[in-house]
A and B are shown apart, each in its own frame.
Chain A
Amino acid sequence: MLILECPYCGVKAEETELSPGYEAHLKRFGPGSTDEEFESYMFARKNPKGVHFERWRHVYGCGKWFLAARCTATLEVFGTYPAQTSEPPADLVAKIKAKRPDWKGYK
């Protein structure tokens, strides 16, 4: 059972209370972008076996979108943080690096 703590309301929510939103920190491309940029925004996903940054919505709670760092190979959750950011917070990245020395970083 996946349990994520909502960074807004502080509730430790079980996954039936949440709605998954797949990869976080995507750079959006629209009109005027190249075909490659638009394809990368629409379809190219990191899909890592390991540390993954993703979007979740506390749909049966406060209703807000937030972001989570989670391992797709073990389901371990490293932490959650508010969605109003373009990259993961430094302390969370440091925490993951300490736990997973082989991790190549979120880029």
Chain B
Amino acid sequence: MKRYSVFAIAREALRYHTGWERAWRSPEPKKEYDAIIVGAGGHGLATAYYLGKNFGITNVAIIEKGWLGGGNTGRNTTIIRSNYLQDPSAAIYEKARSLYETLSQDLNYNVMFSPRGLLMLAQTHHEVRGYLRTVHANALQGVATEWIEPARVKELVPIINIDGPRYPVLGALYQARGGTARHDAVAWGYARACSAMGMDIIQQCEVKGVRSEGGVVKGVETSKGYIGCKKLGIVVAGHSGQVADMAGFRLPVEAVALQALVSEPIKPCMDVVVMANTVHGYMSQSDKGEMVIGGGTDGFNNFTQRGSFHHIEETLRALVETFPMISRLKMLRQWGGIVDMTGDRSPIISKTPLGNCFMNCGWGTGGFKAIPGSGWAMAELMAKGEPGPLAADFSMWRFKEGQFIDESVAAGVAH
């Protein structure tokens, strides 16, 4: 792999850009690998990357049904934050956020991490108390967040209407080092780094079955034939239940659609991320000038990657009340992704009933921000066979034991 640098740009400028190479190889699968990861989204690629970087395991294949980064990695609203209430959540999301800080240098690929600051608006007294509690919890967890008053909110977000008739802004939970990153670049950067370590990224290759003997996975049946493996990692988000079914166990997840949309591009008007959880909409402005908008999930099981129109309407209604100036904006594109929701709205990074098969799923509506931390924890689990401190609490058996990491109650919304 040739490194990207200012010198590379200068060199290529002098020879008509003929020397750029493909960012990753597209090899045919080998007969067997030390580890196979199903799913070349952000989480799968990050898992492979940290397997190589932290544990020296590079005889790895990452198998993808479609194209890499084409699922939820390419469908989210690119928000990065770690202001969670529960300790295990704060630990893994803060690990992820801190890895994002230097990810561009680490991968030699510009993921455009923009720690522009993130506000979660408090619009009811209940929410004020909830966020004050979160600020105190974050202080104990070493996550830098603060409570800010309405005047400061208005200063940070001049386009906001803080005296709304129904839901006036009473303050906000502010994470100054939260922000956004270019979601595609995160997948592409990890893919390029994995390929450079000698890993095989095999796209257009659907897993059809999992072959196991005596409680141990031997390999996977795919649309490109059988591929053997010593360890298997399943990191497929919305279709986790389906792949787990092939492996012969059931997961406590349900798949639902989550939608997002962007407006026509306008001049810079908002340089922070704003989340309004009471009215349930969130918005940031992309580098192209589009307002990037997200809302809540649809309420029924769905695998179609498109959602219900009335959810868009509800989200926009909430945001128009919060940001009156966007009422005349035209919406350019809308899309949906299939998110895998667990009962406590926290992820699963876990061993499974099969000894050498590991599961990373259940990120629900909040997966993008967690990619580096999730990969870091999953790589440790796959390399050692036992979860490290980051993953220890996210076992799939916590539901049976009643040891929830209950972020749905903590935030009052799915996230």
Contacts and interface: CB of A to CB of B under 8 A. Distances in A.
Interface of A: 1-2, 15-16, 19-20, 22-23, 35-36, 39, 42-45, 47-49, 52, 54, 70, 72-75
B304 A75 contact: yes
Nearest to B242: A49
Interface of B: 239, 241-242, 250-255, 299-304, 308-310, 342-343, 399-401
B250 A15 contact: no
A35 B402 CA distance: 10
B304 A45 contact: no
Contacts of B303: 49, 72-73
A92 to B, nearest CB: 18
A73 B304 CA distance: 6
10 shortest interchain CB distances as A-B pairs: A43-B252, A20-B299, A20-B300, A39-B400, A47-B241, A43-B399, A43-B343, A72-B301, A49-B303, A16-B310
A75 B254 contact: no
Contacts, number: 58
Given A1-B309, A15-B308, A16-B310, A52 B399 contact: no
Contact of A19 (B254, B299, B301, B302): B299
A74 B399 CA distance: 30
Name, among B239, B251, B254, B300, the residue most crowded by chain A CB atoms within 10 Å (CB to CB).
B300
A42 B343 CA distance: 8
B406 to A, nearest CB: 13
A16 B308 CA distance: 9
A29 B302 CA distance: 27
Nearest to A56: B300
B299 A45 contact: no
7 contacts: A16-B310, A20-B300, A42-B343, A47-B241, A70-B300, A72-B255, A75-B302
A15 B304 contact: no
Given A35-B400, A39-B399, A22 B300 contact: yes
A75 B256 CA distance: 12
A64 B303 CA distance: 27
A49 B239 contact: yes
Name, among A39, A44, A45, A73, the residue most crowded by chain B CB atoms within 10 Å (CB to CB).
A45
Contacts of B343: 42-43
B208 to A, nearest CB: 14
A45 B240 CA distance: 13
